[in-house]
């Protein structure tokens, strides 16, 4: 009978081959298409999550969490794993009550519901967003033994929305208008001033992220995308676009996202994220587990100034470099994937990647950064990352002279 | 020090150069899409809370340090400390003048912020942390006066209002520059013998730092300093 | 005190402007970065889910669910919303017990663990996967009044994995080898024969999907991606690659995924998905809600034979067409987004899109399809979709002569 | 009918033309990456369950229709019906010969499947639905014999085994073609006056069909036919 057959596992008849030739999941029905209308990762992937560094902030509401880049297999960051940066936690916004105000030095101020915003002509572009504090802990020394925590404040998504220039055309810029203030509706009312030239170039008032509505973590229902510029100017939970003559000199562009130079002078408005790359395999979280032999070195490169031209990889701490292969597509202000085949001899090694972008900018070493920027900046640590490979295959985050 | 007006003019020169629309030509005439509604002046005023250095948009109202002290004690001190010295990692608001070029700079409202209008603006929009943008204008004026006074920037009789705040000269107003003076390109795409292998030394190794939270299993909520 | 301040909502002081100028979420802290290490969509998006047509199959374990294309804002399908097609439900596979067998007419058979598979050189490509039964209900007549249910058995993702040719190089093809059998470890042990030429061209043995491990619904931990070919040959939960001289003539390539022609002959091996396009806004689920005025017509186009060359949109039931704008990037065997500005006069209209791919193939009308393929096929309905716009702005799925 | 051998030869000619590696040159020598293990013959045999038309790989064992009837009654009939007629939407397995060119074709094992080896293969790998790939070879042979006999393809004394099954001539073995004969390009990219507006008629409208499940709110589990 039915029970008898179900109970007599074929495995018993073919012990040499099964399991795994015929593991339990092959001899049963799984859940059907009605079981989860919105899916989730396999439960075996439960450790692939955003993580944070508890000692960086006194409160989780003004803090950051990091994308697990060691488990990101391509240029797209999963919406569930895209890094977070909050200044007052994550607001829960009712899209029916959502409004976008466009006002200030414009001919015809405008108030838009979400439905109305979505009626405007739209574009869809893949861009990275990186927090300028990505790698901040690594300025003075190699401190965190983790790719996720040294480089994970970056994510890359397909953003869909209205070009900011389309909305500015619609309201009509007055000749005196030179700056735009984007502000959010989170508790921080997070706001940043942007020069009009960038606003009219490639910025997007976005409502879509990787095939669905923007996630609450990334600004649901609407955020600003300012391609290639510091994450914090990509205002989330966008409530207002205000036009003015001069910047507003908000707390975020003075106290928070300014750089104290060695001279004691403070530098505001550093905006563009310079080119950066990092090897994502191997890395501290993903050591070489199979002993000596063939491995593929993999990594990600990006530039706030345009496309990636080349990535070079060193296996000897920067003495010699080999050209890595770039994976298609290579898009502007977008993560680019690179790979290099490597036959590991089982000896210790110091591996690095170094990107050159289409402007000719070449990613600097940490020593070069220190020379020009001082030893203790906070932001825009785009220096070359060195991973130390031990004979055991373990990988450590190190800095070298 | 430099007079207020001339410093502002310096900043403004950079801001003017940085801003602007370039040679932009609109793709469509104003109102081409005819979508959305024209907000009422009251609506625009409700949304528009940002206060620039000129003070434009500061509401009617006023406040003194003495008034601010009371509000601060019950709404702010638990995080920022009774004397604005910061607490448990929450920001320090007072002190630090003269420390910015040192190896232990203290960036506070007093030592770092270039404009007093920003103090009003930020308290108004973001504080107190647990109930942001719920203070009345008089309360924000009072708290601003109190923070400026604690920092020794204004005397105890100072009345903060729409006229007095933009005129306050902050200690670090000359301290901000708005255009990156650092060289952009630092490296060369050298391919062989780019460094002397003998001089390569490991200068730091995160494995020995004991600062990394657990990277597998549930998220690690380790306390600062573990 | 704190409580007094929190209670005195600013809204009371500024009734004209707030809400929504200052809605509840702006006056409070939201959850912090520790609240959900793996994120999910806003709860206001709860209706954006995969749905199925209950009368299509007697059991949810041998059934399909559909991607909500009406809510997909770009070319990437969210992993949570990617359509499902099961023949025996969704297996739950332990990645540590996972094995891939490569055997048959090869010089050196190979057994790989998941870790071992991941060591091989990898590629990352954005490709659509479409079930050939997508639109099956619409062959005889317009039957389902829904974009999701007429077109939603397609999804598009960034797939990362090993080129199938890399693995075939590693095992060494014997000269007699001409076909490959890919088989899965679900209860159906789903399997399909593939000619070697396609296997050596652009197929991927994939483990990554949009920034994370492939979802259980799409084949965790490993699936085959056969770009541009019928969804069912993209074997999920891949357990074996077997090389042989002739195809295996499995039940799936005879009884299931063959086409009964009007002559009574059965057609096997139709593989390639011809070019198709559809307007995703407006559509039955997304009517024109704002009255007459400006709208942007939006849609998706794809071809199993390569890149999209152009998409033309008709507003009058196919009498006249206008060239739509293609959104970057335009990639091979990948969804391409198109848009057309439209000022709707409030009158009824019949709207259509028609794609031409780089081979010159032009998407046919349903009448043309009927002429060549008969009136009642099951698969590969890539005909031009007509949406009827009513004066109310409501949208219906219709077919026209 | 066409003799078995010649039909197989016909199919094979197409399969040979379709398959093959073209002008492929391997990028790397065999074993270049040296990753993974070489499976044992027993492991390969365990994985390799697919049975092609030649019958290669059919295991030892045998079964008759009479033996199959008993197994079918307790493990299959509840879904496919006592006479293989199908039930509640589950597939019909018997009958339909001669119906394929009609307006109501019945595609069954008997009427549609070109090779008997596929019947063995599919029952072995996928049935019974709730416990796939758990039958023993003898049981699969018996069930195959039973289905072929119910379909009138083999007589009741037929013993299914590795030799007899590949030799069975299925009714529809000549019915399959393996290369799409239909024209590929059907349309022209005409831009203006491509159709006569007067002749455009709506031939069907899904709004009036009453077949669409609910599209908002929780997923609709409406019963077939509502
Ligand atoms: C529950 C804790 C808490 C309370 C109470 C609180 N704050 Fe804060 N405050 C913070 C945090 C956290 C930040 C930093 C926010 C960030 O980084 O985005 C901050 C930042 C500030 C800053 C900017 C500091 C800098 O240097 O950038 C000022 C000024 C400030 N608070 C003033 C106040 C005032 C005035 C009150 C009372 C009305 C107050 N705070 C109440 C937690 C608090
Ligand atoms: C619980 C219900 C159920 C039981 C019991 C069951 N089947 Fe099936 N059978 C199915 C379903 C559902 C399918 C179609 C699967 C698909 O479409 O992928 C199927 C398909 C088949 C087919 C292919 C039909 C076709 O035309 O493609 C055959 C042959 C078959 N079953 C034989 C059997 C045999 C023999 C048994 C008993 C050993 C059995 N089935 C028991 C549900 C069942
Ligand atoms: Ca089930
Ligand atoms: Ca801070
Ligand atoms: Ca910069
Ligand atoms: Ca909170
Ligand atoms: Ca079926
Ligand atoms: Ca085809
Ligand atoms: Co099995
Ligand atoms: Co507010």
The DSSP-derived string for C27-92 is SS----TTS-SS----GGGTT---B--GGG-S-TTS-EEB--GGG--SSSPPGGG--EE-SS----
- Cβ within 8 Å of A, C 199-238: 207-213, 215-217, 220-221, 237
Lowest mean per-residue pLDDT among A25-39, B116-130, C328-342, D181-195:
D181-195
Give residue A304 CA to ligand 5 midpoint distance, Å.
Answer: 9
Q: How far is A2 from chain D (nearest CA, A)?
A: 5
D204: its two tokens? 């069907």
Cα A239 to middle of ligand 10, angstroms: 10
B93 lines ligand 1 (CB under 6 A): yes
Confidence of residue B18 (pLDDT cuts 50, 70, 90): confident
Condensed to tens digits (0 to 9), the pLDDT of residues C38-75 reads 999 999 999 999 999 999 999 999 999 999 999 999 99
The verdict on A107 touching C (C-beta cutoff 8 Å) is: no
pLDDT for D38-61, tens place per residue?
999 999 999 999 999 999 999 999
Reply yes or no on whether the pLDDT at A12 is more than 60.
no
Interchain contact, C44 vs A94, CB within 8 Å: yes
More confident residue, B103 or D92: D92
In this complex, the chains that touch C, judged by 3 or more CB pairs closer than 8 A, are A, B, D
pLDDT band at A249 (very low <50, low <70, confident <90, very high): very high
Contacts of B41 (CB under 8 A, 6+ apart): none
Q: What per-residue confidence (pLDDT) applies to A18?
A: 45
Which ranges of chain D does DSSP label H, i.e. alpha helix? 4-18, 41-47, 65-75, 77-80, 116-126, 137-150, 164-167
pLDDT in the model for residue B1: 40
The label of the residue with tokens 């909520």 reads: B221
pLDDT for residue D33 is more than 90: yes
Pure H helices in D56-170: 65-75, 77-80, 116-126, 137-150, 164-167
Res B12 pLDDT > 70: yes
Report the pLDDT averaged over residues A310-320: 98
Specify the DSSP class assigned to residue D96: -
- Best residue in C2, C5, C343 for a mutation probing chain B (most B CBs within 10 Å): C5
**Structure-token pair, residue A30:** 């799984």
Please check the confidence at residue A22 and state whether its pLDDT lies above 80: no
- Chain B partners of C26 at a C-beta cutoff of 8 Å? 132-133
Pocket of ligand 2 (CB under 6 A): C 59, 62, 87, 188, 251, 255-256; D 75-76, 78-80, 90-91, 93, 108-109, 122-123, 127-130, 143
Contacts of B77 (CB under 8 A, 6+ apart): none
Number of cross-chain residue pairs from A and C with Cβ atoms under 8 Å apart: 333
> Which ligand lies nearest the alpha carbon of C91?
3
Evaluate whether residue B115 is within a structural domain: yes
Residue D204 has pLDDT above 50, yes or no: yes
For the purposes of burial, counting CB atoms within 10 Å of the CB of A24, is it exposed (0-12), middle (13-18) or buried (19 or more)? middle
Residue C38 has its nearest CB partner, among A27, A49, A77, at A49
A19: confidence class by pLDDT, cuts 50, 70, 90: low
A344: which residues sit within 8 A by CB, 6+ positions away? Answer: A288, A292, A293, A294, A295, A389
CATH number at residue D141: 1.10.760.10
Contact D74 A2 (CB under 8 A): yes
The answer to whether domain C84-267 and domain C276-398 are alike in fold is: no
Examine residue D147 and state whether it is found in any structural domain, yes or no.
yes
Any bridge partners for residue C339, and if so which? C298, C325
Fold of the domain spanning A276-398: Immunoglobulin-like (2.60.40)
Calculate what percentage of chain D has a pLDDT beyond 70.
95
Q: Mutation test of ligand 1: which of B126, B131, B151, B172 has the most ligand atoms closer than 8 Å to its C-beta?
A: B126
D89 in a domain, yes or no? yes
Q: Please identify, by atom number, the ligand 2 atom nearest to the C-alpha of residue C57.
A: 12
Q: Which of the four pLDDT bands, split at 50, 70 and 90, describes residue B10? A: confident
User: What's the token pair of residue A318?
Assistant: 């920067």
Residue in chain C nearest B75 by alpha carbon:
C2
* Positive or negative: CA dihedral A323, A327, A329, A331: negative
Q: Using a CB–CB cutoff of 8 Å, tell me whether C367 touches chain B.
A: no
Q: Residue C105 carries which DSSP code? A: S
Residue of the nearest CA to atom 26 in ligand 1?
A: B108
Give D15 to chain A, closest Cα distance, Å. 28
Chain centre distance of CA C364: 20
Residue C285 CB partners (closer than 8 Å, separation 6+): C68, C70, C71, C146, C147, C148, D215
Note down pLDDT in tens along chain C; length 401 residues.
Answer: 333 333 343 333 333 334 567 789 999 999 999 999 999 999 999 999 999 999 999 999 999 999 999 999 999 999 999 999 999 999 999 999 999 999 999 999 999 999 999 999 999 999 999 999 999 999 999 999 999 999 999 999 999 999 999 999 999 999 999 999 999 999 999 999 999 999 999 999 999 999 999 999 999 999 999 999 999 999 999 999 999 999 999 999 999 999 999 999 999 999 999 999 999 999 999 999 999 999 999 999 999 999 999 999 999 999 999 999 999 999 999 999 999 999 999 999 999 999 999 999 999 999 999 998 888 899 999 999 999 999 999 999 999 99
Q: Do C76 and C159 contact (CB within 8 A), yes or no?
A: no
The bound ligand whose nearest atom lies closest to the alpha carbon of B48 is 10
Nearest Cα residue in chain C from B129: C29
- Output the CA–CA distances (angstroms, integers) from residue A280 to A277, A299, A340, in the order listed: 9, 5, 12
Give the model's confidence band at D223: pLDDT under 50 very low, under 70 low, under 90 confident, else very high.
low
Among candidates C5, C18, C28 on the partner chain, residue whose Cβ is nearest the Cβ of B135: C5
> Domain total for chain B?
1
Q: What is the DSSP string of B65-131?
A: HHHHHHHHHHHTHHHH-TTS--BTTBPP-S--TT-TTSSS----TTTT-S-HHHHHHHHHHH-STTS
* Surface-to-core class of residue B13, CB atoms within 10 Å of its CB (0-12 exposed, 13-18 middle, 19+ buried): exposed
Query: Is it true that the peptide bond before B46 is cis, omega within 30 degrees of 0?
Result: no
Please tell us whether the domain made up of A84-267 is placed in CATH 3.90.420.10: yes
For residues A284 and A261, what is the distance between their CA atoms, to the nearest angstrom? 31
Strand, coil or helix: C106: strand
Instruction: Please name which ligand lies nearest the alpha carbon of A270.
Output: 5
User: In the complex, which subunits touch A with 3 or more CB pairs below 8 angstroms?
Assistant: B, C, D
Neighbours of chain B (3+ CB pairs under 8 A): A, C
- Average pLDDT over every residue of B79-86: 97
Mean pLDDT throughout A165-176?
97
Percent of chain B clearing pLDDT 70 (strictly above): 95
Taking a C-beta distance cutoff of 8 angstroms, is the pair A258, A135 a contact?
A: no
Using the Cβ of A346 and the Cβ atoms of chain C, whether some distance falls under 8 Å is answered with no
Residue A20 confidence (pLDDT): 61
Q: SS3 letters for chain A? A: CHHHHHHCCHHHHCCCCCCCCCCHHHCCCCCCCCCCCCCCCCHHHCCCCCECCHHHCCCCCCCEEECCHHHCCCCCCCHHHCCEECCCCCCCCCCCCCEEEEEECECCCEEEEHHHHHHCCCEEEEEEEECCCCCHHHCCCCCCCCHHHHHCCEEEEEEEEEEHHHHHHHHCECCCCCEEEEEECCCCCCEEEEEHHHHCCCCEEEEEECCEECCHHHCCCCEEECCCECHHHCCCCEEEEEEECCCCCCHHHHHHCCEECCCCCEECCCCECCCEEEEEECECCECCCCCCEEEEEEEEEECCCCCEEEEEEECECCCCCEECEECCCCCCCCCEEEEEEEEECCCCEEEEEEEEECCCCECCCHHHHHHHHCCCCCCCCCCCCEEEECCCCCEEEEEEC
Ordered DSSP codes for C270-335: --BPPPEEEEEESBTTB---S-SEEEEEEEEEE-TTS-EEEEEEESBSSSS-EEPEEPSP--TTS-
- Chain A nearest CA to D78, separation (Å): 11
pLDDT at C20: 61
pLDDT at residue C269, rounded to an integer: 95
The confidence score (pLDDT) of residue C1 equals: 36
Q: Is B109's C-beta closer than 6 angstroms to any atom of ligand 1? A: yes
Question: β-strands D176-177, C266-267: how paired?
Answer: parallel
How far apart are the CA of C23 and the nearest CA of chain D, in angstroms? 26
Q: Give the closest ligand to the alpha carbon of residue A88.
A: 1
* Tokens linked to A245: 């003559």
B79 lines ligand 1 (CB under 6 A): yes
Q: Report d(CA B84, CA B81) in Å as an integer.
A: 5
Residues 244-283 in C contacting D (C-alpha not used; CB under 8 Å): 244-251, 254-255, 258, 260, 262-270, 274
Please tell me the predicted confidence (pLDDT) of residue C238.
98
A&D contacts, CB < 8 Å: 68
Which residues of chain B neighbour A318 with C-beta distances below 8 Å? 194-195, 200
A274 Cα: distance to centroid of ligand 5 (angstroms)? 6
Tell whether ligand 1 has an atom less than 6 A from the beta carbon of residue B63.
no
Q: What is the DSSP letter of D37?
A: B
Residue A294 has pLDDT above 90, yes or no: yes
CA distance C271 to C245: 19
Higher-scoring residue by pLDDT: B184, A128: A128
Domain ranges of chain C: 84-267, 276-398
Q: Between D137-150 and D65-75, two packed helices, what is the crossing angle to 10 degrees?
A: 100
Tell me which of A71 and D179 has the higher pLDDT.
A71
- Helix axes of D116-126 and D137-150: crossing angle, nearest 10 degrees: 130
C9:B134 CB<8 A: yes
pLDDT above 80: residue D141: yes
Cα(D127)–Cα(D139) distance, integer angstroms: 11
Q: Which of C20, C29, C86 is facing A32, going by the closest CB pair?
A: C86
Given CB atoms, is C185 within the 8 Å cutoff of chain A? yes
CB contact under 8 A, B130 and C6: yes
Instruction: Supply the pLDDT for residue A4.
Output: 37
The residue that leads in pLDDT, A3 or A165, is A165
Among protein residues, the one whose CA lies closest to atom 20 of ligand 2 = D91
CB count, 10 Å around CB of C197? 15
* Chain D contact for A30 (CB, 8 A cutoff): no
C320 CB within 8 Å of a chain B CB: no
- Tell me if A87 CB under 6 Å of ligand 1: yes
Q: Do C399 and D202 touch (CB under 8 A)?
A: yes
- B204 within domain boundaries: no
B80 Cβ inside 6 Å of ligand 1: yes
Q: Give the Cα separation of C40 and A50 in Å (integer).
A: 13
For range A353-377, the mean pLDDT: 94
Mean pLDDT for A102-119 is: 97
ipTM score assigned to the predicted complex:
0.95
Q: Closest Cα partner for C165 from C245, C98, C243? A: C243
Dihedral (CA of C238, C244, C246, C248) sign: negative
Task: Give the A window 219-248 contacts with B, CB below 8 Å.
Answer: 239-240, 242, 244-248
pLDDT score at B72:
98
């Amino acid at each position: 009978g039915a029970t008898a057959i179900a109970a007599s596992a074929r495995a018993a008849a073919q012990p040499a081959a099964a399991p795994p030739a015929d593991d339990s999941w092959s001899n049963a029905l799984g859940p059907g298409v009605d079981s989860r209308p919105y899916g989730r990762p396999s439960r075996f992937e439960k450790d692939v999550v955003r993580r944070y560094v508890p000692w960086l902030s006194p409160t989780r509401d003004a803090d950051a969490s990091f994308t697990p880049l060691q488990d990101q297999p391509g240029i797209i960051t999963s919406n569930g794993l895209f890094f977070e940066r909050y200044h007052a936690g994550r607001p829960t916004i009712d899209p029916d009550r959502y409004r976008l105000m466009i006002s200030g030095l414009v001919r015809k101020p405008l108030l838009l519901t979400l439905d109305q915003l979505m009626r405007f002509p739209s574009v869809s572009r893949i861009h990275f967003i990186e927090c300028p504090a990505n790698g901040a802990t690594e300025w003075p020394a190699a401190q965190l033994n983790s790719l996720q925590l040294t480089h994970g404040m970056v994510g890359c998504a397909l953003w869909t929305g209205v070009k900011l220039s389309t909305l500015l055309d619609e309201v009509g810029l007055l000749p005196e208008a030179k700056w735009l203030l984007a502000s959010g509706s989170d508790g921080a009312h997070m706001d940043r001033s942007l020069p009009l030239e960038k606003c009219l170039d490639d910025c997007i008032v976005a409502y879509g992220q990787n095939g669905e509505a923007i996630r609450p973590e990334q600004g649901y229902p609407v955020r600003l995308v300012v391609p290639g510029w510091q994450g914090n100017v990509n205002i989330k939970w966008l409530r207002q676009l205000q036009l003015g003559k001069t910047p507003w000199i908000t707390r975020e562009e003075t106290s928070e996202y300014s750089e104290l130079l060695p001279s004691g002078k403070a530098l505001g408005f550093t905006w563009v994220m310079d080119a950066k790359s990092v090897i994502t395999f191997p890395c501290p979280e993903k050591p070489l587990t199979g002993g000596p032999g063939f491995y593929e070195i993999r990594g990600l490169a990006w530039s706030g100034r345009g496309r990636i031209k080349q990535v070079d990889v060193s296996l000897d701490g920067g003495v010699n470099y080999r050209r890595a292969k770039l994976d298609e597509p290579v898009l502007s202000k977008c993560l680019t994937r690179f790979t290099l085949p490597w036959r590991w001899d089982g000896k210790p090694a110091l591996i690095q990647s170094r990107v050159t972008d289409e402007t000719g900018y070449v990613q600097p070493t940490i020593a070069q950064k220190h020379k020009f920027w001082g030893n203790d900046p906070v932001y825009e640590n785009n220096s070359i990352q060195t991973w130390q490979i031990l004979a055991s295959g373990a990988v450590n985050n190190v800095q070298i002279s | 020090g430099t007079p207020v007006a001339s410093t502002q003019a310096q900043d403004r020169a950079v801001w003017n150069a940085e801003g602007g629309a370039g040679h932009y030509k609109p793709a469509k005439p104003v109102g081409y899409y005819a979508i959305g509604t024209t907000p009422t002046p009251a609506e625009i005023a409700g949304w528009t809370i940002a206060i620039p250095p000129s003070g434009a948009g500061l509401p009617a109202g006023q406040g003194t340090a003495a008034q601010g002290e009371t509000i601060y004690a019950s709404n702010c001190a638990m995080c920022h400390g009774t004397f604005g010295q910061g607490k448990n990692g929450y920001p320090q608001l007072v002190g630090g003048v003269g420390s910015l070029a040192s190896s232990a700079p203290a960036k506070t409202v007093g030592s770092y912020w270039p404009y007093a209008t920003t103090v009003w603006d930020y308290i108004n929009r973001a504080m107190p942390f647990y109930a942001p943008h719920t203070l009345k204008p008089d309360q924000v004026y009072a708290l601003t006066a109190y923070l400026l006074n604690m920092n020794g920037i204004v005397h105890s009789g100072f009345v903060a209002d729409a006229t007095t705040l933009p005129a306050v000269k902050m200690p670090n107003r000359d301290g901000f520059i708005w255009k990156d003076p650092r060289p952009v390109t630092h490296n060369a795409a050298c391919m062989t013998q780019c460094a002397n292998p003998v001089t390569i030394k490991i200068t730091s190794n995160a494995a020995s730092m004991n600062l990394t939270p657990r990277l597998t299993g549930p998220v690690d909520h380790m306390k600062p300093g573990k």
